[in-house]
Structure 1
Amino acid sequence: MLPIPQRIRTLAATASVVKLTVDGVPARARGGVDERGRPVLLALPGEPLHGLHRLHEDAVVAVNLAAMRRLGDDEHPRGLMEVQGWAQPVPAGEARAAAVAVAANTADEALFDALERYGRPDAPRLLRVDVAQVVYLTGQESGVLDADDYLDAEPDPLAEPAERVLAHVNAAHREQLANGVSRHLGRPAGEVWLWELDSRGVTVRADGSLVRFLFPAPTSSGSDLEAALNGLLCTCGHHPAA
């Protein structure tokens, strides 16, 4: 399994903003996650966060993120995270990158207005969270990461190819996957889906339970990742790990 800080950063990189509270009060949530894992928020005139006109006016916020996995017609949560900290205006030089991060999860025409009229009192505003800590729940693991552990971690460099391979196997090769997993477990595995795939191994969902298989050695490229996964499908030398 990836180290917890790296795993949470990997999940956050593709997560959606599902809930926002400002100074303990629920607020409308529009946003995404930037390249450092910080939630980025779009605030419209009249909303609580829009009133932050100066950098020293920080609002205490909690941003709830959800990383989901689609299995057939259903979506299931892979990881839930609450990023706690302070909302601060995005500097002008970083506004475009922040807008792109928001647009990845929330396509809102107000983003254009926020960029074109940046800094005007009546324009939509872009803010990001100065992270204090991250509370997480993923699978059977839960805990709290402090800001340094979270922000210093890098997402799994193979996350993008892993997602492509995972989607392909779940769409076209579930029978082979089920056969391979059944042989490893020594019993019929029932309904099997790939749940997580990373540089160190694969987690499958078999009849609703998660089972982890480690690769013999960490992979370092997309082709190595595919080869290691093929080893699992062919029952070549993998062993389940808790």
Structure 2
Amino acid sequence: MRQPGPSELERVRSLAATATPTTAALADDPTAHFSVRGAVDHVGRAVLLLQADSPLHSALRTARHGRPDLMVGIGLSALRHVGRTPTVRARLWCEGRVSAVPTGERREAALAVWERVPDEELLAAVDHHPTTVEGDAPLLARVEPATVLYETYDSAGVIDGTDFRDTTPDPLTSAAERIIGHVNDRHRDDLTAVLREIPAAPVGSAWLWELDRHGLTLWVAPYDQDRPVLVRLPWSGPARSTCELERALHELLTHRAPHC
């Protein structure tokens, strides 16, 4: 049983906010997967940068002649570096309707993708629309999730797209990701010391795995087991700002009872 923390829905929504699109499949041919690049925007839609040779690019050009209901599945992956090893935190599969990003929204979509994929082709995708005669121009597309399947290190399930879209990520997600990177790079010894003070915790190497306003999760590789385990440590009360989150973490790392 997980210790106090965000709801599973909020947790998955937060994981999606940090995830990167990797693969796609058209509903008409679900076994034919192909690679995609992009990001997840602030409302939970997968935004994709598609080159002219992408099957999805071609399908969207055809869709303007009567396929407004073009459905697609998008695979997302959220990673965490454990040492130098990229480790999958979550895999998600978002199924929903895909469409070209409207003209007035392409710049915002391009900026969302740029944070993950700083590709100069994004400029062409903003300036040109592939449903014109310039059919070889790259395309910005987005997927409105109708169903989201997820698998994390410790849970799995299916979320209705409406519930997914209506849920916001933990408001401290972006700050938490920056903090996690710093702690795992500079304060591993402190994490190990924290682990030694937790009753019944396994003895092993520890990394900061998740961090949110409710607490943190350590990823522990026990010295006497093959499979890592997750150890959840809740705060005494939710952090309401980045400053409070940093203070709670600092108090934990300096071996004082965390509080906000």
Among residues 63, 72, 80, which one is paired with 2:74 in the alignment?
Answer: 63
Q: Deviations over 1:14-37 (max 9, x none)?
A: 211111112313233122211111
**How far apart are the structure 1 equivalents of 2:74 and 2:238?**
33
Q: 1:27 to 1:187 in 2, by over 3 A?
A: closer
In the alignment, is the contact (CA less than 8 A) between 2:202 and 2:220 conserved in 1? Answer: no
The size of the alignment, in residue pairs, is 238
In the alignment, is the contact (CA less than 8 A) between 1:43 and 1:50 conserved in 2? Answer: yes
**How far apart are the structure 2 equivalents of 1:45 and 1:187?**
52
Matched, 1:22 2:26: yes
Query: Following superposition of structure 1 onto structure 2, how do residues 105-184 of structure 1 map, counting pairs within 5 Å?
Result: 105-118=116-129, 119-121=131-133, 122=135, 123-184=137-198
In the alignment, is the contact (CA less than 8 A) between 1:184 and 1:235 conserved in 2? Answer: no
**Which letter maps to 2:21?**
V
Query: Over the residues paired in the alignment, what is the CA RMSD in angstroms?
Result: 1.9
State the 1:48 CA deviation: 2.4
- Give the secondary-structure state (helix, strand or coil) at the position aligned to 1:102: helix
Matched, 1:9 2:23: no
1:215 corresponds to: 235
**How far apart are the structure 2 equivalents of 1:237 and 1:84?**
43
**How far apart are the structure 2 equivalents of 1:97 and 1:55?**
26
Unpaired segments ≥5 residues, structure 2? 222-227
2:96 corresponds to: 85
Among residues 193, 197, 217, which one is paired with 2:211 in the alignment?
Answer: 197
Unpaired segments ≥5 residues, structure 1? none
**How far apart are the structure 1 equivalents of 2:102 and 2:197?**
55
Q: 1:187 to 1:213 in 2, by over 3 A?
A: closer
Q: Report the identity percentage.
A: 38
2:253 corresponds to: 233
Higher deviation after alignment, 143-152 or 156-165:
156-165
Q: Deviations over 1:194-238 (max 9, x none)?
A: 111100010001222111011101110112112212332244346
